[in-house]
Amino acid sequence: MRTDGRQWNELRPVTITMNANKYAEGSVLIEFGDTKVLCTASVEERVPPFMKGQGKGWITAEYSMLPRATQVRNHRESARGKLTGRTMEIQRLIGRALRSVVDLHALGERTITLDCDVLQADGGTRTTSITGAFVALALAVNKLSRTVDFAKYPITDYMASVSVGVIGERTLLDLNYDEDSKAKVDMNVVMTGSGKFVEVQGTGEEAPFSRKELDELLGAAEEGILSLIGKQREALGSMGSRIGVTTV
Amino acid sequence: MRTDGRQWNELRPVTITMNANKYAEGSVLIEFGDTKVLCTASVEERVPPFMKGQGKGWITAEYSMLPRATQVRNHRESARGKLTGRTMEIQRLIGRALRSVVDLHALGERTITLDCDVLQADGGTRTTSITGAFVALALAVNKLSRTVDFAKYPITDYMASVSVGVIGERTLLDLNYDEDSKAKVDMNVVMTGSGKFVEVQGTGEEAPFSRKELDELLGAAEEGILSLIGKQREALGSMGSRIGVTTV
Amino acid sequence: MRTDGRQWNELRPVTITMNANKYAEGSVLIEFGDTKVLCTASVEERVPPFMKGQGKGWITAEYSMLPRATQVRNHRESARGKLTGRTMEIQRLIGRALRSVVDLHALGERTITLDCDVLQADGGTRTTSITGAFVALALAVNKLSRTVDFAKYPITDYMASVSVGVIGERTLLDLNYDEDSKAKVDMNVVMTGSGKFVEVQGTGEEAPFSRKELDELLGAAEEGILSLIGKQREALGSMGSRIGVTTV
Amino acid sequence: MRTDGRQWNELRPVTITMNANKYAEGSVLIEFGDTKVLCTASVEERVPPFMKGQGKGWITAEYSMLPRATQVRNHRESARGKLTGRTMEIQRLIGRALRSVVDLHALGERTITLDCDVLQADGGTRTTSITGAFVALALAVNKLSRTVDFAKYPITDYMASVSVGVIGERTLLDLNYDEDSKAKVDMNVVMTGSGKFVEVQGTGEEAPFSRKELDELLGAAEEGILSLIGKQREALGSMGSRIGVTTV
Amino acid sequence: MRTDGRQWNELRPVTITMNANKYAEGSVLIEFGDTKVLCTASVEERVPPFMKGQGKGWITAEYSMLPRATQVRNHRESARGKLTGRTMEIQRLIGRALRSVVDLHALGERTITLDCDVLQADGGTRTTSITGAFVALALAVNKLSRTVDFAKYPITDYMASVSVGVIGERTLLDLNYDEDSKAKVDMNVVMTGSGKFVEVQGTGEEAPFSRKELDELLGAAEEGILSLIGKQREALGSMGSRIGVTTV
Amino acid sequence: MRTDGRQWNELRPVTITMNANKYAEGSVLIEFGDTKVLCTASVEERVPPFMKGQGKGWITAEYSMLPRATQVRNHRESARGKLTGRTMEIQRLIGRALRSVVDLHALGERTITLDCDVLQADGGTRTTSITGAFVALALAVNKLSRTVDFAKYPITDYMASVSVGVIGERTLLDLNYDEDSKAKVDMNVVMTGSGKFVEVQGTGEEAPFSRKELDELLGAAEEGILSLIGKQREALGSMGSRIGVTTV
């Protein structure tokens, strides 16, 4: 039994509040237990310089934690004058994950920026961000689709992410902060609605892990992600009906 | 009649959600209409180097807007690598305003940092921040008072802030973004519960203003601030009962 | 009686040395007592990117103190790698104040940059800078007017600035450093030749101030500024004759 | 058959030149084909501030590419004034991987910094760096062991790293730059001498991958890493004899 | 004949205004023709961390040009966020030159910082700065000597600097900006009162120079520097009487 | 006799390894004893913005030391976020020196960037860099000449550089680190194949030097440089045959 009463393979309560920001083309406030992330999708009708003239769009992400999202207040990166390696790593991951389910040619020469701002952090901020950013992106593309006649719908599949880890001998799904700090193996998995891997990032800094442990971790993650994608489908309803539909 | 139907001297609906963050010693989500600011107060049992050994505490503030708090997405200051002049000016103002109602000797050698993060901006973000930060500060000091035996209560008075401006010939209270961008005179006023000025900042970049206009602006601000302080008193209830009480 | 023998409503000796730099389109060395600021106006025949194609000009200002302008040497901002909040706040104020008396359409698509470099600081560096920068600007526009046929003269009024403050119960005009560090209320006022306010910035960090105190401060400031504008008129002589003249 | 004639599961020629730098406590020049990395280990008899007083040591890594390590010259990060996200991600990975096979308590209060400078890049710079840095670290600890009487030898196991990927339907081991840019799935694996995983990082930005593909990739990586560890053992000879030996 | 009517081996008019700043321990405004530099010497009773505990003092220099010191306005280095290579090179040169005539042991554990701020530039700003900074330093050490009982006087010799160059076939002394931009060879020489070289920096970027040209340049520089040292002696009068005196 | 057994006017063993990098248009690994510098020349078919449209090319240089090139590890400049003054000074010197033997009009609108990365430092890194960069440049221009029909060959002369210094009363050629740190006078000389000076930089920080000492230093440098140019000629062989040839 876990400190918060969950089974080893049980997600924390997941809440997705749609349209949490009145200006953004798509936005959600997503909660995995006490981890709360505000995700906004901003659409611009241009691409960054390195993408110009290729007839393709671009998806990028930025991630940040409010200073008191955590138990002890952190310095603001804006005051430090630079991003930490952790932030860079996470926002690169979010952008890469989202691009894996977007057909950039179908999107056309426009950029969608996903901002993931962690209001409160209790473990799993990167997986919560990816899962929420997907919904914000879907809202923005759905909104775009009212004025843009997409020959092919740009979002090719659902996608969500969860963390798994090993504490002692136990595999656990969706670690909170307390569990995360005790885990000897820590893994983040991103998977599509069709059950394929987008990212697998496993780290055994405290102790290397065996192939058997890896297999158990992947199994638990798969189950958790399918459940999260169910929540996304429910939240999007008919707005998600064209995702992955390839024929017009 | 204003675009949102308000009278010239009418505040926008004000909401103060207490304890909006589970880690901070004090926190509120404050809303002036569509302007939403998350204010957290973080207590540390030490003072910055330049204050050491004086037997006094310190109050400081940081201010930031999420990139999509606004109609058009802004670059993150953390990605730009430096704070804008506007941000610096606002956070200096918030800190100064709060210090004016705190007895730093009574507080003792500790620092309280107020983080004001604008989730959504529709004008008046600095006045909303000051008004909300005061409540977060009051919550944090109230929490401190359960373990620290203050000879004198460190908060000496209530304090709130509002904007006023002139559009055409009309004085208006609590401008939203649309009004703010049309105003020829723009003023931010910070005032205490006892009706004294902490800050008066009036700017006539578009057109200089007369003494008569200044007097009308100050009058409208005073009325608005007293109303805001009423909301603060209501939100704090008995937790605010020792504010300004000098005898033990 | 003040430490330097002045009356409460008496300015320090004011000196304006014209053309203090041989390259700048306009320049003065201005002194308010021991506060000495070199102000240069640089004209460029283009506007910043965000102003392009609007048929308007731009006025901007930069402010800096030499490291040993003060009693104790300060670190250079160029060595620190960033501007302090104080510098940003002051240079934003100077630019805003100057723009309030310039008709940017009349100026046409050109930029005038006012550099205010404090050679020696004894209080009131921002008010001295504004007062001197106005004269440097007037010199530059006067020089421009020899080659540009302005349909309307771009400078619409005189403008100067002074500080006022409260020490104990006394209102004082034009505070020197020693007085400034003792003042419980500190106010900077910028006013036009026609007696209208451009900026009113009052701060009661040490102690909030009443409406009555505010009124006294504004009265003292008004008197001081009119006297400073007299000095500006004298220094400019016939070069200032078209300021505020609206008919050709 | 691959463009350079290798079998799908064949490593490039691996060369490890010991003591490539005359000052460093440990150093190697490691080559995976045309990828050449200079790895130095620098020992300091102190730990970073956040580790002080814990009786433990610290292992950290820095990674950089010379500007013309690549086909097209890159800007120097020192001239840009900041590290790229890619650099940060890689050096965090190298440090984490090395720490997984070091007993920081056994090391004692000292820091070993591994610098991995890529002289020439032809794919796999991070896996080459990890594999080389391990040898440099082993040399430095071996040198230390001549003067320090370690109760337990600080290095607990061998460790090496290799990349694997999928091009078309083929799994390939140790991708060169040309292959890397064509791969739809890209994975870096770090493994110990006892065959346990330290890091598994798989990315399907171009196309998500199935569980079956993942299994094949892991299998190929395992084989490659065991071969690399053979090269490390050979290079270290008797200097590696105490690695992983727990009894004195 | 030169454009300003000087002989080939003639200095521009040199003016040294003593005590140009009321706070600095030593200060001068020095002019070489239209080149004007404000030099201040600031004394601190401590040394930088890398010098601690050696019983020696430190002399360092900072150099900066006001933005409109030049014909075309330059960006401020504080706004750019970093020093240019040119600035770094010049301030390293000034510091090194001054240290060559100071006995750091005799000075004791204190730091003197020389700030050289160019108010107006017409060529030779680095040589003007060195020549002026020496006088500011001498004033500061003389002031120190009233309260500190130096066993040995810390300044061991006079020192000044001048530029020389070749235009066409002519060697010229003390180049103004116009000459400097035409010179094919450009040399800065720093020399002591006893006629020894402290720095010789000759550059033939436009055209390499022969040994014969070098000899002529050095000869002209020597003559010019001795004349400048005469000006320094005159300015310092009896305040310079202990310079280079080794017996008490 | 010197610590490494050399005569006072003897160079350290010089090795030039051609084509040390497989991508660069020209590259060498150059060694002056234990000082090892990797020099690459990168050709781009465009010039920096400030050179556009002048029909001329540009030569520029960047210099860096690997963190453990030295006895004690140095911080990376990329991690510090800025270049040191020393680095800026050296890379400006290298670029200037190379430009003095290149006819930029003959080169045409292209940029050649010389990267000098010090792998191991034992004194004289700047002179080693200049000498090696010249050869890398010659290789790149020679390669260019196979596809570009130069009316005039862009390299006008050979060029090399060496350090000289005074220890005690002895003039020494090509100082190693140990000698460099003891020298009271330190001079770097850059000279062309025709025996003319490109740069003479002598510093007597520890003790000023006489004209006689200067003459001896220049004599020793001249001899050393001619010997280094001999090594360059040998390394380049027929690839250097058009250097300085003005007729087609």
What tens digit of pLDDT does each residue of A105-120 get? 999 999 999 999 999 9
pLDDT digits (tens, 9 = 90+) for C233-242: 999 999 999 9
Q: What gap in Å lies between CA E29 and CA E21, rounded to an integer? A: 9
Query: How much of chain F, in percent, has pLDDT values that exceed 70?
Result: 99
Which residues of A, range 174-193, sit inside 8 Å of D by Cβ? 187, 191-192
* Chains within contact range of chain D (3+ C-beta pairs < 8 Å): A, F
* Residues pairing with E197 in the sheet: E191, F209
Q: For residue F235, is pLDDT > 80?
A: yes
E55 among annotated binding-site residues = no
How would residue A248 be classed by pLDDT, with cut points 50, 70 and 90?
A: low
Task: Render pLDDT for F159-205 as a digit per residue (tens, 0 to 9).
Answer: 999 999 999 889 999 999 999 999 999 999 999 999 999 999 999 97
* pLDDT, tens only, E134-185: 999 999 999 999 999 999 999 999 999 999 999 988 999 999 999 999 999 9
User: Are the beta carbons of E225 and E191 closer than 8 angstroms?
Assistant: yes
**In this predicted structure, what is the pLDDT of residue F5?**
93
Q: Which of B197, E78, B91 lies closest to C89, judged by CA?
A: B91
The DSSP code sequence of E61-107 is EEEEE-GGGSSSPPPPHHHHTS--HHHHHHHHHHHHHHHTTB-HHHH
- pLDDT at E248 exceeding the cut of 60: no
| pLDDT at position D132 over 90 | yes
* Average pLDDT, integer, range D88-95: 97
Give residues with Cβ within 8 angstroms of C156, minimum separation 6: C101, C102, C103, C243, C244, C246
Q: Which has the closest alpha carbon to C148: C26, C43, C27?
A: C43
pTM of full prediction above 0.90: yes
CB burial of residue C45 (10 Å; 0-12, 13-18, 19+): exposed
A219 touches chain B (CB under 8 A): no
3-class DSSP string for chain A? CCCCCCCCCCCCCEEEEECCCCCCCEEEEEEECCEEEEEEEEEECCCCHHHCCCCCCEEEEEEEECHHHCCCCCCCHHHHCCCCHHHHHHHHHHHHHHHCCECHHHHCCCEEEEEEEEEECCCCHHHHHHHHHHHHHHHHHHHHCCCCCCCCCCECCCEEEEEEEEECCEEEECCCHHHHHHCCEEEEEEEECCCCEEEEEEECCCCCECHHHHHHHHHHHHHHHHHHHHHHHHHHHHHHCCCCCCCC
Here the tokens at position F11 are 């160079």
Q: What is the mean pLDDT of residues F107-113?
A: 97
Instruction: Give the C-alpha separation, F152 to B158, whole Å.
Output: 81
Half-sphere exposure (Cβ direction) of E35: Cα atoms closer than 13 Å:
27
Task: Inform me whether the C-beta atom of residue B88 falls under 8 Å from chain C C-beta atoms.
Answer: yes
Type and span of the H or E element at F97? helix F85-99
Got the DSSP string for E132-176? HHHHHHHHHHHHHTTTS--SS-SB-S-EEEEEEEEETTEEEES--
D247 pLDDT higher than 70 = no
What's the rounded Cα separation, in Å, for the pair D100 and D161?
13
Residue C173 has pLDDT above 90, yes or no: yes
Kindly state whether F204 is in contact with chain E, defined as any CB-CB distance less than 8 angstroms.
yes
Please tell me which residue of chain D has the smallest CA distance to F84.
Answer: D78
Q: Distance (Å, rounded) from C-alpha B147 to C-alpha D15?
A: 65
B214's enclosing H/E stretch is helix B211-236
For an interface test with B, give the residue of C130, C186, C196 to mutate (most B CBs within 10 A). C196
Q: What percent of chain A has pLDDT over 70?
A: 99
Dist. CA F226–CA B144, nearest whole Å:
78
Distances (CA, A) of B189 to A14, B142, C166: 42, 26, 19
As given in the structure block, the two tokens for residue A61 are 């992400």
Given a cut of 90, is residue F214 above it in pLDDT? Answer: yes
CA distance C48 to chain E (A): 14
pLDDT at D211: 95
Residue C135: closest CA among C103, C163, C160, C99:
C160
Return the pLDDT at E20: 98
User: Which chains does C contact via 3+ CB–CB distances below 8 A?
Assistant: B, E
pLDDT reported for residue B206: 85
Bridge pairing between strands C14-18 and C26-32: antiparallel
**Best residue in A12, A23, A86 for a mutation probing chain B (most B CBs within 10 Å):** A23
Q: Do residues F212 and F219 touch, judged by C-beta distance below 8 A?
A: no
Do F156 and F98 contact (CB within 8 A), yes or no? no
Query: What is the structure's pLDDT at F33?
Result: 98
- Secondary structure string (H, E, C) spanning D77-94: HHHHCCCCHHHHHHHHHH
Q: What's the pLDDT band for E247 if we cut at 50, 70, 90?
A: low
Residue position matching structure tokens 């064209």: A242
The span from the CA of D102 to the CA of B178, in Å, is 60
pLDDT over 90, % of chain A: 93
Examine the pLDDT at B248 and tell me if it is beyond 60. Answer: no
Give the pLDDT band of residue F105 (cuts 50, 70, 90): very high
pLDDT at A247: 60
For the residues of F174-240, what is the DSSP string, one character each?
Answer: S--HHHHHH-SEEEEEEEETTS-EEEEEEE-SSS-B-HHHHHHHHHHHHHHHHHHHHHHHHHHGGGG
Tens of pLDDT, residue by residue over A15-56, are 999 999 999 999 999 999 999 999 999 999 999 999 999 999
Known binding-site residues of D for phosphate equal 86, 124-126
Look at residue E5 in the predicted model and tell me its pLDDT. 93
Q: In chain A, what is the straight-line distance between the N-terminal and C-terminal CA atoms, in Å?
A: 49
Lookup: tokens for F103: 């006819």
Which of B82, B100, B206 shows the shortest C-beta gap to C82? B82
C-beta separation of C247 from B240 below 8 A: no
* Nearest one of B61, B95, B242, B42 to B156, comparing CA atoms: B242
Record the tokens describing residue B163, joined without a space.
């904007």
Mean pLDDT, to the nearest integer, of F25-47? 98
| Test the D interface: residue of F66, F72, F111, F115 with most D CBs within 10 Å | F66
- According to the model, what pLDDT value does residue B245 have? 82
Residue-wise pLDDT for A83-103, tens only, equals 999 999 999 999 999 999 999
Average pLDDT of chain F is 96
Q: Mean pLDDT over residues A58-63, rounded?
A: 98
pLDDT band at F247 (very low <50, low <70, confident <90, very high): low
Cα angle F206, E234, E142 (rounded to 5 degrees) comes to 55
Q: How far is CA A221 from the centre of its chain?
A: 14
Angle ∠(E228,E232,E234) on CA atoms, nearest 5? 115
What mean pLDDT is predicted for residues E63-81?
Answer: 95
Identify the pLDDT of residue E55: 93
pLDDT at residue B60, rounded to an integer: 98
Residue C169 token pair: 């119960």
What is the chain E residue with the closest CA to F91?
E85
Q: CB distance F208–E197 less than 8 Å?
A: yes
Mean pLDDT, residues C163-176 taken together = 96
SS3 B152: coil
Q: In what order do the strands lie in the sheet with F14-18?
A: F14-18, F26-32, F35-44, F111-120, F58-65
Q: How far apart are CA F158 and CA F227, in angstroms?
A: 12
CA E232/CA E234 separation, integer angstroms: 5
3-state SS of chain D? CCCCCCCCCCCCCEEEEECCCCCCCEEEEEEECCEEEEEEEEEECCCCHHHCCCCCCEEEEEEEECHHHCCCCCCCHHHHCCCCHHHHHHHHHHHHHHHCCECHHHHCCCEEEEEEEEEECCCCHHHHHHHHHHHHHHHHHHHHCCCCCCCCCCECCCEEEEEEEEECCEEEECCCHHHHHHCCEEEEEEEECCCCEEEEEEECCCCCECHHHHHHHHHHHHHHHHHHHHHHHHHHHHHHCCCCCCCC
Tokens standing for residue F31: 């060694």
Match 């000034």 to its residue by tokens. Answer: E94
Q: How many CA atoms are closer than 13 Å to the CA of A238, on its beta-carbon side?
A: 0
**Which residue of F85, F205, F211 is in closest CB contact with E89?**
F85
Average pLDDT over residues B69-83: 94
**pLDDT (0 to 100) of residue B247:** 61
* Cβ-contact A108, A45 below 8 angstroms: no
Summarised one tens digit per residue, pLDDT across range A177-193 is 999 999 999 999 999 99
Strands C58-65 and C111-120: parallel
Write out pLDDT tens, residues E183-214: 999 999 999 999 999 999 999 978 899 999 99
- The mean pLDDT of chain B is 96
> Is a pLDDT exceeding 60 seen at residue C248?
no
Q: In which order are the strands placed within the sheet that holds F197-203?
A: E170-173, E159-167, E185-192, E197-203, F197-203, F185-192, F159-167, F170-173
F115 interfacial to chain D (CB closer than 8 Å): yes
pLDDT, tens only, E116-137: 999 999 999 999 999 999 999 9
Of A11, A18, A12, residue with least CA distance to A232: A18
